[in-house]
Structures are given as C-alpha cells and as structure tokens.
Amino acid sequence: MASAEAAKRLGPLIRNQTTTMGLYNLPKQCGCPKHPYDPNLPEDGTAHDLREPCPFEKDNFPRGRMPTCCSLRGEVASSELCALRLELLALAMHVDMTAEKAAIFSRELSSAADEIEREYAGKADKLHGAGQRIAWNAKTRTGEYQTYSTFEEALNAIREAARWYEKIAGLGFGVHAWF
C-alpha cells in the first residue's frame, strides 16, 4: 500500500473533510516519459479534447456540483472508506497521483473492499457507511435526509472509485485531488 503510506505522512496536514467543501478528483496529464504531456489537450480537468465525446459519458460516476465530465466526486468514496475504518485509503484520495500510482491505488481500493466484505460475510452486525446528507427518493421525487448508507452501498461507492482510478490510469492520466 505505497499510496496509503504516503497519505499517512500527510495526515496531520489534511483538514477534516466534513468541514470543507468536499473532495473532487480530476484527471491531469501525467507527463511522465510513458505518458508524455499533450499540449493539445485542455488543462481543465478533462481527459479528452472537448470536441470529442467524453470517455466517461456512460460510466455515471458521482460528479457533484463543480465537476468536469471526467471527474469523480471523491468525497463520496472517501467518506465511506472512513466509515469502514479504512482511513489511510481515504487520506490517499486527497493526494495527487501519476497514472502508475492511480493504477496501483485502484487495486488497493478494490482489494480493501474485497477484504472487508470477506471479513463481514455472514455476520448480521455489519458496519454501516457514512451516507450522504440528502438521498434522492425516486418514488416520492424528493430529497430525503439519510443518516447512513448500508454496508453494501459503502462497498459499492469504494468499488466505483476504484473503477474511476483504473480508467483514469488506463487512459494515461494522473489524478489531481482538489478540495
């Protein structure tokens, strides 16, 4: 868990995320020899030329209020990681990464979700997730206060973030953590 170790060193420098505007993870050009900088791409947190279709269009990742089409509202997965006692991985989401580090981090997130799922398999008393302040109720078409998410919903949010990091890395982009 190299990226989690890096976040551990930064821990005291990162403010409590419940008191800030949130975490957004944005693609950034990696710029390493394997993924050279492309001056034709915009520097606005997207992973494509804006005249072309977004590679994330069909993924439906959580984006939040101030996203780009390619971004991830990292606050969701970060909160769920904390709720499931995986604070080091939550902190690692607040650190910029190269494409290679994003690929490694994707596997770390997936492994952590699998491990905690195995740990609680068959147990009636599972941890619950962090939840979000407002959850959309499609039946009543209203926002409703949600005190917490289920264990399964928390794992799904973590796995969704892992898929986003994997896709970003696969496209040859690093990650900029903006909060």
Residue type, 32: C
- Whether pTM > 0.85 for this model: the answer is no
- pLDDT (tens digit per residue) in 87-145: 999 999 999 999 999 999 999 999 999 999 999 999 999 998 887 656 666 677 676 66
For the chain, the first-to-last Cα distance in angstroms comes to 23
Tell me the domain boundaries of the chain. Answer: 23-123+156-178
The region of weakest confidence among 52-61, 74-83, 85-94, 131-140 is: 131-140
From the CA atom positions of the chain, what is the Rg in Å?
A: 17
> What average pLDDT does range 63-79 have in this prediction?
85
CA angle 141, 144, 148 (to 5 degrees): 135
Q: How far is CA 168 from CA 62, 136, 173, in A?
A: 15, 28, 5
Longest Cα–Cα distance in the chain: 54
Residue type, 33: P
DSSP 177: E
